[in-house]
Amino acid sequence: MAPHPKASLLVRLRTYFFAGVLVTAPIGITLYLAWLIIDFIDNRVTPLIPARYNPETYLPFSIPGLGLIVAAIVLTVIGAFTAGLVGRWLVGLSERLMARMPVIRNVHSALKQILETVLAQQSKAFRQVVLIEYPRRGIWAIGFLTGDTVGEVQNLTEDETVNVFLPTTPNPTSGFLLFLPRQDCHVLSMSVEEGIKMVVSGGIVTPPDRRPKDEREIPRIPATSPDDPEGPTRRSDAA
């Protein structure tokens, strides 16, 4: 029995509708978020511009992104100024003043260390995506290798440990810092960006396995029992 023409038309229209949503939704949401950020910065920076230097004073319309451009120029000028002798002296003076304030010094020190780590030109804040067993044996989670463990934590442990940041879904800016034996971290072939997309999407966006076909067909990690606290001996895969 042939399908009803009206039903077939409705199926095609529904397919076209969802295809349109899949195409336009990511673009629309991205543009909307970008507009929110630009508008947020404009509303706080533009009022600080003197009226005589503000182009909007002489125009019958506002200029989107003017505050963002001004903020970028000001930050660039500040960065150039701090590279000089006087700028370095002023920065050092402000650092010493911050270090004398009981509560502010802790906040300032933590924020400075985080920003220097993340925004450094040669930053390797997230080096590799790793697969770890968490919160128990037999359950796997994706984490990001942030470096080798040093200091007291490493000196107290017999195993060579690494720092792994375990993000939460769908907000990867929060999570847990884990110190794991290097042999318990299994490096994945996916990039850091692909790993973040997978975490944010809750596993909906899964990057392809780019390893050779012969490697994909052979599991590298042996099965473990949740009741076995030790698990089998693993090969070191972390860098």
CA distances from 87 to 79, 90, 93, 115, 143 (A): 9, 5, 10, 19, 39
Mean pLDDT for 102-127 is 71
Q: What tokens appear for 209 in the block?
A: 């396995």
Query: pLDDT for 186-231, tens place per residue?
Result: 999 898 889 988 988 888 888 888 888 888 777 777 766 555 555 5
Alpha-carbon torsion (26, 28, 31, 36), positive or negative = negative
Q: What is the pTM of this model?
A: 0.55
CA atoms within 13 A of residue 153's CA, in its CB half-sphere: 12
- Which pLDDT belongs to residue 35? 92
Question: Which option is the CATH number for 128-216: 2.60.40, 3.10.20, 3.90.25, 2.30.30?
Answer: 2.30.30
- How many CB atoms lie under 10 A from the CB of residue 187? 15
Domain boundaries, the chain: 128-216
Residue 39 has pLDDT above 80, yes or no: yes
Residue 143, classified by CB atoms within 10 Å of its CB into exposed (0-12), middle (13-18) or buried (19+), is buried
Instruction: Give the span between the Cα atoms of 104 and 94, in whole angstroms.
Output: 12
* pLDDT grade for 235, boundaries at 50, 70 and 90: very low
* pLDDT grade for 166, boundaries at 50, 70 and 90: very high
Instruction: Give the span between the Cα atoms of 91 and 131, in whole angstroms.
Output: 41
